[in-house]
Amino acid sequence: YVVKKNISAYEYACRLVERIHHNYRTKVLVVDDSRSAVANLKHYLSIQRLNVLTASNGIEALGVLEQHPDIRLVITDYNMPEMDGFELIQQLRSRFAKNQMAIIGLSSSADPRLSAHFLKSGANDFISKPFSYEELLCRVNQNLEYLEQIDLIRDAANRDYLTKLYNRRYFFEQGESVKRQALRQDRPLSLSMIDIDHFKSINDTYGHSTGDEALKHVAGLLNESFPDDLVARFGGEEFCIMHRRDEGESQQQLENFREKVANSPLPSDSKIRVTVSIGLNGCCDQGLDDIIHLADTKLYQAKEQGRNRLIV
């Protein structure tokens, strides 16, 4: 951050601490054939608590990225042997989108067209050498902050605001790739639909905010019981799980979950409990819609047979 005249030292320090806290574990790759340039950048970025990796040319950089695909920022020189900065950026952009990884171009060349060329190749930003420590930090932080904002927006778009579980759209998007992966690795999958029983009467008896609390309560138990699975709020008081295990194993887990729900009162009122009905189906090579429909049919049977039960 640039220290402005009107910003108090305290405020500045707070922002810096907040930034450094964010940086902790954030991986940055510095690519330059000049050892002293690499050492210099590494020194300044390490002060910011960034996790700095280094490479001396494009090919080496691609190797480091193979090992660390979670690198969030690449700072690359232009003139390097083996593979120059432009080619490296083009290769990176075929694998990592701009909203996934930031790239800052770096060069001491006097050619004024260089910055435009860097940006056109897919860099987010450009710094010309020599640069001040302050400028480096401003540009690095700005680019990392941009990525963090994108992460927040993406997460907000994928989740349900009330329960913070994934939403229906994300479930379909992710469900298809979980299915493809399971098929490739020949691993079992099963899918369950869960619906809170007589939920309307919770709202009618205790009010809408208690209804909301019950939804959050059930969501918490879902997270606790199925940490490895894809859990989503499907609709009002309906949830859907894609289990990374076969029907038999899921059945046992779901029975435990069902009992846990029935036996845990709401945190705000020990007299209020809810129960859930569940339909479970194995996943074969049908489409996701068809599997959901099958689980839904079983959920309907669970309701018909008296609720607070699981039908496989």
Judged by beta carbon, residue 98 or residue 159, the one nearer ligand GH3 is: 159
Which partner, ligand GH3, Mg ion, none, binds residue 33 by CB below 5 to 8 Å per kind? Mg ion
Contact partner, 79, from ligand GH3, Mg ion, none, Cβ < 5-8 Å per class: Mg ion
DSSP code per residue over the chain: ----TTS-HHHHHHHHHHHHHHHTT-EEEEE-S-HHHHHHHHHHHHHTT-EEEEESSHHHHHHHHHH-TT--EEEEES--SSS-HHHHHHHHHTTS-TTT-EEEEEE----TTHHHHHHHHT-SEEEESS--HHHHHHHHHHHHHHHHHHHHHHHHHHB-TTT-SB-HHHHHHHHHHHHHHHHHHT---EEEEEEETTHHHHHHHH-HHHHHHHHHHHHHHHHHH-TTSEEEEEETTEEEEEESS-HHHHHHHHHHHHHHHHH--BTTBTT----EEEEEEE--SS-HHHHHHHHHHHHHHHHHTTSS-EE-
Indicate whether 302 belongs to the interface with ligand GH3 (CB under 6 A): no
To ligand GH3, the closest distance from the beta carbon of 152 in angstroms equals 23
Copy the structure tokens of residue 258: 């069902």
Residues found near Mg ion in the complex (CB under 5 A): 33, 77, 79-80, 195-196, 199, 237-238
Restricting to residues 47-106, name those near ligand GH3 by CB under 6 A: none
Q: Least CB distance from residue 1 to ligand GH3, whole Å?
A: 40
One character per residue 161-190, x = contact with ligand GH3 (rule: CB under 6 A): -x----------------------------
Closest CA to 22 of 161, 147, 158: 147
Decide whether 80 or 189 has the Cβ nearer to Mg ion.
80
- Shortest distance in whole angstroms from residue 175 CB to ligand GH3: 22
Least separation, in Å, of the C-beta of 148 and Mg ion? 30
Q: Residue 33 has which token pair? A: 């054939």
The answer to whether residue 212 forms part of the interface with ligand GH3 (CB under 6 A) is yes
* Residue 207 C-beta: closest distance to ligand GH3, Å: 8
| Options 51, 115, 142, 203; binder of ligand GH3; rule CB under 6 A | 203
Binding site partner of 255, from ligand GH3, Mg ion, none, Cβ cut-off 5-8 A by kind:
none
Q: Does 200 bind ligand GH3 (CB under 6 A)?
A: yes
Q: Which option in ligand GH3, Mg ion, none does residue 77 bind, with CB closer than 5 to 8 A by kind?
A: Mg ion
Residue nearest to Mg ion (CB): 79
The token pair that represents 57 in the structure block = 């040319």
C-beta atoms surrounding 254 within 10 Å: 24
State CA 112 to chain mean position distance. 38
Binds 162, which of Mg ion, ligand GH3, none (CB < 5 to 8 A, cut-off by type)?
Answer: ligand GH3
Answer with the entry of ligand GH3, Mg ion, none that 208 interacts with (C-beta below 5 to 8 A by kind): ligand GH3
Marked catalytic residue, from 237, 238, 259, 304: 237
Q: Is 173 in the active site?
A: no
CA angle 80, 86, 88 (to 5 degrees): 75
Kindly list the catalytic residues: 237
Q: Which residues here bind ligand GH3, judged by CB under 6 A?
A: 162, 195-200, 203, 208, 211-212, 215, 236-237, 303, 307
